Amino acid sequence: MPILYDYPRSRNGYKARLVASHLGLPLQVVTTDLMAGESRQADFLAKNAAGKVPVLELEDGTCLPESNAIALFLAEGSALLPDAKLERAQVLRWMFFEQSQLLPNIGLARMLKITGRDTQRPDVYAQRVEAAQDALSALERHFAGNDWAALGRFTVADIVLYAYSSVVEEAGIDTAPYPAFVAWRRRVESLPAHIPPDWGFAA
């Protein structure tokens, strides 16, 4: 069974676990303790030179880092990821948006907030919140006219967008200005195979 090296607070590994749940794929989740520096130790750096979770380790020992690469790999050949060139590009479009505009801004603002460093570095925090709000406004405009990220149906693009969308409030950002975005989040959460963020970790 493939192993997912992951950390409970990270929402990047959540993407892989969501794809696995939606497709009924087996996955063993192994905790890499980021707070203890485990992702920067030699054995982990051999799996991912970037020293970050998530990493998917296949049965033959091949290691695949980067959450969206893992999500694409797991979704390949399923209804979550179309084959047709333009349809696939429309899915990828939102996955690139997630990596460039959503994850870095919501992720860092949330990290500063939950570690109490938002008040120590108010300038950095404010910058990230502003950029996150800009990304959320883009999502709001999109979801005001679309139920799903791409192709009018649930795809792997919704899964990767959802991961950091689910922690906007933890970043200290009010979602009141984004009602269509909040409605889309609820649509994702109401799917039968949806799982909570701690799913797969040993109790």
Ligand X SMILES: N[C@@H](CCC(=O)N[C@@H](CS)C(=O)NCC(=O)O)C(=O)O
Nearer to ligand X, 39 or 105 (CB): 39
Nearer to ligand X, 63 or 182 (CB): 63
In the complex, least distance from residue 65 CB atom to ligand X, rounded to whole angstroms: 6
In the complex, least distance from residue 149 CB atom to ligand X, rounded to whole angstroms: 17
Nearer to ligand X, 68 or 133 (CB): 68
Beta strands per DSSP E along the chain: 3-6, 28-31, 55-57, 63-65
Residue 116 neighbours by CB distance under 10 Å = 8
What is the Cβ-side half-sphere exposure of residue 159, based on CA atoms within 13 angstroms? 33
Distance CA 157, CA 33 (A): 28
Distance CA 19, CA 190 (A): 15
Structure tokens at 80: 């979550």
Residue (of 10, 165, 37) closest to 94 by Cα position: 165
In the complex, least distance from residue 145 CB atom to ligand X, rounded to whole angstroms: 28
Distance CA 170, CA 192 (A): 25
Interface with ligand X by CB under 6 A: which residues? Answer: 10, 12, 34, 39-40, 51-54, 66-68, 99
Nearer to ligand X, 45 or 183 (CB): 45
Nearer to ligand X, 170 or 187 (CB): 170
In the complex, least distance from residue 53 CB atom to ligand X, rounded to whole angstroms: 4
In the complex, least distance from residue 36 CB atom to ligand X, rounded to whole angstroms: 11
Q: Exposed, middle or buried: residue 46 (CB in 10 Å: 0-12, 13-18, 19+)?
A: exposed
